[in-house]
Amino acid sequence: MYRNRIAAGVLTAAALTAALTACSGDGDGDGNAAGAPPATAAQTPAAASPEAGKPFGPACSAVPATGKGSFTGMATDPVATAASNNPALSTLVTAVKKAGLVDTLNSAKDVTVFAPTNQAFEKIPKATLAKVLADKKTLTAILTYHVVGERVAPSGLASNSFKTLQGGMVTTSGSGESFKVGDEASVVCGNVQTANATVYIIDTVLMPPK
């Protein structure tokens, strides 16, 4: 199944080093930068998807009206590149760079990403966050727990559960424009479309079950 192939790609990426930024890879084996073309053939922009709709949530007002960081601009880029153009996700970008998941995310097809904001990472004690960022195995597990191997429309978030690329299950609940991911995270800007993913920006970092 394609989901299994995606999961296999994650395992491969965990053993390699790639980068999720607009910068080029450094000398320690990082892969393509987030600004580089996806590793697979060009994909149809998500704006053409029948599930695509207007983004919603209080944090959406901070998204630029035009340019690469706008909703229109993000819809034409793969998810890793789109994230690198959003200043509110800069800590996430750094984390995915360290985990080496740029190529996996940019080349994946039809995924859902729950993307923690910078403020979400700030909830984690600095010493703990620094330790996690330095532990590639743990970091990869946490980040892949934020990715579901299918596009999920807002209506699909109501009282549901999904298997993540990390292997654990993540639950969602809510209705209308108010949704929770897990027990603590709230969607602050949802239904953001990129070329290969539907993104829900959340206010808390999800932790995979032990």
Is 76 among the domain residues?
yes
Residue type, 148: V
Nearest to residue 147, comparing CAs of 101, 84, 91, 82? 101
Tell me which residue range forms the domain holding 173: 2-36+52-202
Is 94 among the domain residues?
yes
CATH number, residue 136: 2.30.180.10
Q: What is the pLDDT of residues 87-106, one digit of tens each?
A: 999 999 999 999 999 999 99
* Token pair 């800069």 in the structure block, residue: 90
pTM: 0.76
Is 73 among the domain residues?
yes
Q: What is the pLDDT of residues 22-61, one digit of tens each?
A: 333 343 434 343 444 444 333 334 333 434 579 999 999 9
How many structural domains does the chain have? 1
